[in-house]
Amino acid sequence: MTSVREKYRDCQVKPTTTSFAVYSRGTIYLLDSAANQMARDQFASSAAASADPSTGSGFMMVTVKGSAEADRLTGVTSIQRQPRGNP
């Protein structure tokens, strides 16, 4: 079985990232435009700092406060980076 990390290996946060998605419990959620801007402000300019130093991965663990509607997160009020865990 392919892991999420393997499947989306080319979808990592980089300084040029403009659209973000969150994977949770088997579902990929796209962020609305306001949440994308929030994520860009918080993460895109520091993509190197967000990378896992042991693997060079641009994936990160986050907590998002907002509403899930089908495959979208809307009304997001915060996006917080979490300490590295075992995804």
Between these two residues, 62 and 46, which has the higher pLDDT value? Answer: 62
DSSP-assigned states of every residue in 6-65: HHTTT----TT----EEEETTEEEEE-HHHHHHHHHHTGGGHHHHSBTTTTB----EEEE
* Cβ atoms of 49 and 38 closer than 8 Å: no
Q: What is the pLDDT of residues 13-61, one digit of tens each?
A: 777 888 889 988 889 999 999 999 999 888 755 554 445 544 555 677 8
Q: Which residue has 């979808």 as its token pair?
A: 11
Q: pLDDT at position 87, please?
A: 47
Residues 61, 81: contact at Cβ < 8 Å? Answer: yes
DSSP class of residue 83?
Answer: -
pLDDT-derived band at 77 (thresholds 50, 70, 90) equals very high
